[in-house]
Chain A
Amino acid sequence: MFQNRAEALALALPAAIFAAAVFLVPVVILLSDGFRSPAGGWTISAYTDFFSNSLNQTVFLRTLRLGALVTIASAVIGYAAAFAIVSLEPGAKGKVTGLVVLPLMISPVARTYAWIVILGRTGIVNQAFQALGITEAPLRILFSETAIFIGLLQLFLPLMIISLISALENMPKDAIPAALVLGANWFQVFWKVVLPLTKEGLVIGGTLVFTGSLTAYITPAILGGSKVLMLETLLYQQVAVSNNFVAASVIAFILIVMSFAANILLKRVATARNKQRSQA
């Protein structure tokens, strides 16, 4: 599009300077705290200290586990919902997509508080369970990993559905009928045709959901509380209560690394499948 590279770079320069000044530099300053030795010089002792503490290990693994579970669950539900939506008439499709996006316009605080009412001892979930004879006494759902999982899934599922809708819409319309005609069953159609053709959407959606689940603060704070700490709630505790900015910077760095790692991993999985296919 441009005559030379210099011209393109010149146009990108203002945005790059802005991003570097207001985002990159502060982040680097913040993160460097975790690598500074109190005596001067650089060290990774803050990281070894962090991971040698058993509470931190528990919180780290819990965050990773919940992030992964929410991502997997949202992918499974997301594919089903996205398939259903793309198969609708154009008018209905717009309306249903609008409904999917609608929760994103409501504050996460309001959405999360609603779960306190729904999941409580006297909430509709427990009422239904008791009415159906599934349980005798109300279940304790609030302030548990289950509550956080439900809250995060509801919070981030729309992002996955939207990513998958756009991926499915870009898929050639005759790919699925062709596979079926050639004798593939539905599982094979999904695994060998749909998944490879929509992997970009899955990678984008998966990264958004996983990163969002790792870094969400309000949902784990309200639905889990300090009984079920996640890395974000631990980070808040370190800053606001213990005034320990070094530990907070360590947690922030871990969260950033986890987000990048998730993105790289998802991309790898997608390309690995591609290579397999092209070799086959």
Chain B
Amino acid sequence: MNKVILASGAALMLAMGAAQTPAQAQEKTLTISVYALAQDEYKQIVYDPFQKICGCKLVVETGNSVERFAKMEANKANPVVDMAVISMADALAASRAGLIDKVDTSKLSNFGKLYDIAKDPNGDGMSVGYTFYATSIAYRSDKMKIDSWADLLKPEYASHVAWPNVTTNQGPPALYMLGLALAKDTPDLKAPIEAVGAKKGEIVTFYEKSSQLVQLMQQEEIWAAPIGRFTWAPFTKLGFPIAWAMPKEGQTGGMNVMTVTKGSKNRDLALQFMDFWLSTEVQTKLAEKLIDSPSNKDVKLSEAIANNLTYGEETAKSLKLIPSAVALDNRAGWIKTWNEKVGQ
């Protein structure tokens, strides 16, 4: 009996193997590495339609940027991933580590449609921006008035503020803007970190996850917090008068970029995929689902959608982003100073 089961199992496996082999041999495979967000929507809007166009198979690897970066570094000699989307600063880190290659923008038919800020964010030709976001202050307009980033530290406001921890994506940009407000904007962010440190007892919390802020705002635990525009939508539904600040120092933000892995065997396919993702049609659909703010300036959005995103030429031009090299060279120092002044 056992022999019969074994034999039939073996036969079944052989048959499955035989059925799969020819198909796999013919199919081209593109492996991409992306953030683990909104994968159902990406599948529907980007991945599935692209697979139909290219007649290829798309393998999607997800994870946070540290995990994905570590994986790319481990497979440097024999890269698995062909194309990765990462933050601007991580793209520079990857470029310094020799993990990515120049992007041949002549093969990107949609390249000309991008906002200037997204064309070559690090100025090294190694990446193309596919989405960016503004970072400013969400605040209770009935309780406070915000004209400057420094207003958050006013004695009457500080005990109602959640400030992003330096380890979050919003942390350094918020400190950078506070530095501008204090007229002490050195790359080491020393002055703004000290200013926040002086108020650490009053500030409600140094948040790690922006999802926590909605609840804190709802419970009136906080009145204001620096946030990325991509988390803005839930605040507008709380039933409180919550405004998006336009401080006199301006807004900051961040950008995510596409990169091609050095040594990828599917470079052309990767570029074809990037071009598809940057197309007006795909960028419009992603924006309409409130997933990514478009970096393609031909994307036209309704006011309701645009209000929830970082949208338009003016906004794109006004963003004061921390240069990637500054972020990379100072990140460890920022955390050290922060831990000394705020962490204890």
Which residues of A pack against B, CB within 8 Å? Answer: 54-55, 58, 113, 116-117, 120-123, 140, 142-143, 221-222, 225-227, 229, 237, 239-243
Contact = CB atoms under 8 A, between A and B. Distances in A.
A226 B221 contact: no
Contact of B343 (A55, A117, A140, A243): A55
Nearest to A57: B344
Contacts of A225: 165, 205-208
Contacts of A113: 215
B66 A240 contact: yes
Interface string B302-344: 0000000000000000000000000000011001000110111
B80 interface: no
Contacts of B335: 237, 241-242
Contact of B219 (A55, A117, A143): A117
B322 to A, nearest CB: 16
Contact of A142 (B66, B203, B205): B205
Contacts of A243: 66, 69-70
B332 A242 contact: yes
29 contacts: A58-B344, A113-B215, A116-B212, A116-B219, A120-B216, A120-B219, A121-B221, A122-B219, A122-B220, A122-B221, A123-B219, A140-B204, A143-B204, A143-B205, A221-B208, A225-B165, A225-B205, A226-B165, A226-B205, A226-B208, A227-B200, A227-B203, A227-B205, A227-B342, A237-B167, A241-B335, A242-B167, A242-B331, A243-B69
Interface of B: 64, 66, 69-70, 165, 167, 200, 203-208, 212, 215-216, 219-221, 331-332, 335, 339-340, 342-344
Contacts, number: 67
B167 A121 contact: no
A116 B213 CA distance: 11
B227 to A, nearest CB: 16
Contacts of B219: 116-117, 120-123
Given A117-B219, A123-B219, A242-B332, 8 more contacts: A58-B344, A116-B219, A142-B221, A226-B205, A226-B343, A227-B342, A229-B343, A241-B167
Contacts of B200: 227
A257 B206 CA distance: 30
A240 B63 CA distance: 11
A151 B207 CA distance: 18
A29 B168 CA distance: 29
- Tell me whether chain A's interface is mostly helix, strand or loop, or mixed: helix
Nearest 10 A/B pairs, CB to CB: A241-B167, A226-B165, A143-B205, A226-B206, A225-B205, A55-B339, A120-B219, A58-B344, A55-B344, A120-B221
A226 B66 contact: no
Nearest to B331: A242
A45 to B, nearest CB: 18
Contacts of B167: 226, 237, 240-242
Nearest to A123: B219
Contacts of B204: 140, 142-143
Contacts of A121: 219-221
B48 to A, nearest CB: 31
The residue in B208, B220, B332 that gathers the most chain A C-beta atoms within 10 A of its C-beta is: B208
Contacts of B66: 239-241, 243
A123 to B, nearest CB: 7
The residue in A113, A142, A143, A229 that gathers the most chain B C-beta atoms within 10 A of its C-beta is: A143
A107 to B, nearest CB: 15
B340 to A, nearest CB: 7
Contacts of A239: 66
Contacts of A237: 167, 335
Contacts of A240: 64, 66, 167
Nearest to B204: A143
A240 B66 CA distance: 6
Contacts of A227: 200, 203, 205-206, 342
The residue in A117, A140, A241 that gathers the most chain B C-beta atoms within 10 A of its C-beta is: A241
Contacts of A123: 219
Contacts of B212: 116, 222
B218 to A, nearest CB: 10
A142 B220 CA distance: 13
A222 B343 CA distance: 16
B275 to A, nearest CB: 32
Nearest to A224: B205
Contacts of B342: 226-227
B106 to A, nearest CB: 34
Contacts of B205: 142-143, 225-227
B86 to A, nearest CB: 13
A20 B205 CA distance: 42
Nearest to B212: A222
